[in-house]
Amino acid sequence: MFRQVKILGAIISAMALFAGTSALAGHKVGKLSLTPMLGGYVFEGNQDQKNAPAATLALGFNYTPHWGTEFALSYVDSENKTGRKGDIDVGQIRWDVLYHFRPDKVLIPYLAAGLGSLITNPDRGDTDADFMVNYGVGLKFFVTENLALRGDVRHVYEVDDKFNNLIYSAGLVFQIAP
């Protein structure tokens, strides 16, 4: 897990080297985006679940130069620490709002916040769906006008069970015309 965080940090640091240029800036108003991401999910220590890889697919839309929204689906294939429940599939369905700083640059930092549902489905036991909120930060680095690298870290709060989790991810942003 720490190796993945170091790799994500290295990617973000490399992207920061190009922060001043705007020749390839690609954050465009009125465009849809499709973003596949891979990363990890860190569970709060008392949840009795092992940290695990996470996969996310997001569909977004930029309303203004600064504001955008995304509908995202995430999947985590976790395990129960004690083995009583076996494998635990975890899914997130969420709607997020993103605020982009410096949208005219190649390197675009952003804030994200949203809400949704966190669904846990153990091999043994009942499926549970909880209301969740999330917030975090990220960076988009545009390689071309319509392709960007993306890094993202979010705090995930399960409102019903009061668990504090973390999801981190990196991926590609494909901007497509509406």
Q: pLDDT digit string (tens) for 77-126?
A: 888 777 666 788 889 999 999 999 989 899 999 999 999 999 988 777 78
With CA atoms as reference, report the closest residue to 140 among 54, 4, 39, 24.
24
**Residue 155 C-beta-side C-alpha neighbours within 13 Å:** 8
CATH of the domain at 168: 2.40.160.20
The Cα 77–Cα 43 span in angstroms is 12
6's enclosing H/E stretch is helix 2-16
Read off the pLDDT of residues 14-64 as tens digits, 9 standing for 90 and up: 555 544 444 556 778 899 999 999 999 999 877 778 899 999 999 999 999
Whether this model's pTM surpasses 0.75: yes
Given this model, what pLDDT does residue 101 score?
94
Residue span of the structural domain in which 6 resides: 2-176
DSSP 37-103: EEEEEE--GGG-B--EEEEEEEEEEESSSSEEEEEEEEEEEEEBSSSSS-EEEEEEEEEEEEEESST
Amino acid (1-letter code) at residue 126: D
| Number of domains present in the structure of the chain | 1
